[in-house]
Structure 1
Amino acid sequence: MLPTQLTCRGTLSAFGRFRRRPACCSGLQTLLKEEEPRTATFRPGVRRSLSPSVVRGRRRFSVSAAAIVNAAPGPVRPYLRLMRLDKPIGTWLLYLPCSWSIALAAEPGCLPDLGMLALFGAGAVLMRGAGCTVNDMWDKELDKKVGRTATRPIACGAVSRPQALVFLGGQLSLALGVLLCLNYYSIALGAASLSLVVTYPLMKRITHWPQLVLGLTFNWGALLGWAAVRGACDWSVCLPLYFSGVMWTLVYDTIYAHQDKEDDIKAGIRSTALRLGERTKPWLCGFGAAMTAGLAAAGLQAGQSGPYYAALAAVTLHLARQISTLDVDEPEDCWKKFVSNRNLGLLLLLGIVAGNLWKGRREAGPQRILSN
């Protein structure tokens, strides 16, 4: 008979009986040496990096970006968190407009330039990290007043402002190295975005529309990607794409800002969440409609085909569902809706690539007929 009710550290007495200890795990659990998953209260932006669970007697782990950061050496860890490498959603949202532009600029029937996608991916990691460093240097005192941001490295004292400044210089130097791999037009265009990167953190102090400035900053890649591939911007395509990205940012970052609105009021921080209040959903519908219209215009100017518009319809449905089911007073729901925008962006990227391949096939048909 298994000692399922006996202590895992029970010892056999001289009379062959087990002594029991209260509040101890069962013998079977000890033999398996497993730990039951622990429950945790929700904190926006924080998720368990390694969550062991008992599945048929084996340990299973879910690896995340936070797990990689937690496994880094102790002295390095605060700097990785300062770059937000443990929360990659921001990097995705910065990178996706770049990928849309690169994919739209590809020749008909061709996949997007994979080398360019990789280069912009590295640039997105570095520039998002630099932007977060600048933001946290400006917002040290404000971050201490908001529960979600009080543990950021600069706010909690793990990284000093002078250390952050040196680290910022390193990130910008590496990002400059990435930028110098592009053509001269793109180098000048990319350098022009630095003023937005530096001034964005100030906007929450002087306007209720810092999300608009974030949109202008985060979607610069919609211009830069096309220029890097083609040598210059085609404004008939790039401007509608850029406009759509800005509208998209107003949607997801307004949702994001609703997580902190109570703390923001106390700290004197301004946001579209506070400005729009109970009218948030109608405004989000307007931003979403403008985004869809801009993407349709960009597709028309780029000569896109059926798969692109099918993806655009799916993106529109995704936005509609986000907004209709959003509970602005529930931080956990706001976080889930915010994070879901990565899938929205990937869906549009897939539509651009498929539409471009289909366009190449469509254009190749008449050429084969003429050649015969």
Structure 2
Amino acid sequence: MGGPVYTAPMSHVSRQDAPVADALKGHWADRLLPPPVRPYARLMRLERPIGWWLLLLPCWWGLLLGQIALGGGFSNLWYAALFLIGAIIMRGAGCTLNDIADRDFDGQVERTRLRPIPSGQVSVTQAFIFLAVLCLIGLAVLLQFNRFTILTGIASLAIVAVYPFMKRITYFPQFVLGLAFNWGALLGWTALHGSLSAPPLLLYAAGVFWTLAYDTIYAHQDKDDDILIGVKSTALKFGDATLPWLAVFFALSLALLDAALWTAGASLIAHTGVAAAALHAAWQLARFKADDPDRCLELFRSNRIFGLIITLALLLDCLLT
């Protein structure tokens, strides 16, 4: 990799209680878990729940959209719970794999140098064992669904496996993340229908553009370090032109989302939810500051609200029409 490399001092970061940057302060995982367990909780980012929320919400979108296409009514709460468990576990597995792949980079970046592997809290061997355990739990969750959903879920593993390496070869790792993080939109639909069709594919595409928006915002926190260590991101690619690109990504996401609703036969209630999400996206664009890491983190986390707006609208559509 090109570019100069710097190394942050690591003499004090092997403590079990060393906090990770951008973790929620006072999170239960840091307060209540036994000290030997905390590094593994940090490895799977339990103290940073926004990640599993962003993985979970497309699953619920797909499940609820599938219910709308069946005529509405109560959706399968058991499936909803399985998606919750699966999102937490598989987000943890993805983060563990990412930390294994990025262990040399993470030790050179201020925001990531206290992660469990570069700080010495967890060895690479221990991380691989933990990854295997998480994958087995994720498989147990996946096996609760129909055969088509199981096969569709397994197909996502190829994307998950290559994502950690994309920042080395392309300025668009956020696109690959979108492909992985929104796969649940397909699984939610297939859990009810046992097949794929236009609505879930449009929903999936909407999620990919949503991820391009929120993860580009997130990437602006690390752009100075990324330049130093020679990795790529959309934040570096777009630079000062990021804001109009964010507007394009949000607009495409909302348009594709609305198209998914139309093709699934959703009512005005669901479309109103898209309009409300558009207002939230406009609020993000108005507040975006590329050179303000704290603001970027705030806006990134706010996408849970964006996703919950859509979820609530789909749920109301199921129950009220």
Q: 1:94 aligns with which of 52, 55, 72?
A: 55
Secondary structure at 1:205's aligned position in 2? Answer: coil
Residues 312, 244 of structure 1: CA spacing in aligned structure 2 closer, same or farther, 3 A cutoff? same
What letter is aligned with 2:120?
G
Q: Would you say the 8 A contact 1:305–1:358 is kept in 2?
A: no
The gaps in structure 1 that reach 5 residues or longer are 1-42, 50-65, 360-372
Residues 21, 112 of structure 2: 8 Å contact kept: no
Listed as ranges, the matches of 1:1-372 within 5 Å are: 45-49=22-26, 66-106=27-67, 107-233=70-196, 235-359=197-321
Which ranges in structure 2 are unaligned for 5 or more consecutive residues? 1-19
Which position in structure 2 is the counterpart of 1:31? none
Deviation at 1:357, TM superposition (A): 2.6
Aligned equivalents of 1:354, 1:162: Cα separation in 2 = 47
One-letter amino acid of the structure 1 residue matched with residue 160 of structure 2 = V
The alpha-carbon deviation at position 145 of structure 1 amounts to 1.2
Q: Residues 310 and 44 of structure 1: is their aligned pair in 2 closer, same or farther, counting only changes over 3 Å?
A: farther
Please give the alpha-carbon distance, in whole angstroms, between the structure 1 residues aligned to 2:249 and 2:39. 36
Q: 1:12 is matched with which residue?
A: none
Q: CA deviation at 1:353?
A: 1.1
The RMSD of aligned alpha carbons is 1.1
What amino acid sits opposite 1:297 in the alignment? A
3-state DSSP of counterpart to 1:259: coil
Cα displacement (A) at 1:146: 1.0
The letter for the 2-side match of 1:124 is A
- How far, CA to CA, are the matches of 2:256 and 2:31 in structure 1? 41
Does the 8 A contact of 2:29 with 2:41 survive in 1?
A: no
- Say whether the 8 Å CA contact 1:70–1:77 is kept in structure 2: no
**Structure-1-length-normalised TM-score:** 0.79
* In 1: Cα distance, 2:256 partner to 2:295 partner: 27
Q: Deviations over 1:156-203 (max 9, x none)?
A: 111011100011110000100011111111111000001111110000
1:185 touches 1:231 (CA, 8 Å); kept in 2? yes
Give the 4+ runs in structure 1 shifted more than 4 A.
none
Alignment identity in percent? 48
Give me the whole-angstrom Cα distance separating, in 2, the residues matched to 1:236 and 1:358.
24
Q: Displacement of 1:316 after TM fit? A: 0.6
Q: How many residues align?
A: 300
Deviation of the 1:281 alpha carbon: 0.5
- TM-score when scaled to structure 2? 0.91
Higher relative contact order (CA closer than 8 Å, sequence separation 6+): 2
Distance in 2 (CA, whole Å) between partners of 1:92 and 1:80 is 16
- The one-letter amino acid of 2:227's match is I
Using the TM superposition, give the Cα deviation of residue 113 of structure 1 relative to its aligned residue in structure 2, in angstroms: 1.2
Say which one has the larger Rg: 1
Task: Give how far 1:231 is off.
Answer: 1.5
Please tell me whether the aligned partners of residues 204 and 269 of structure 1 are also in contact (alpha carbons under 8 angstroms): yes
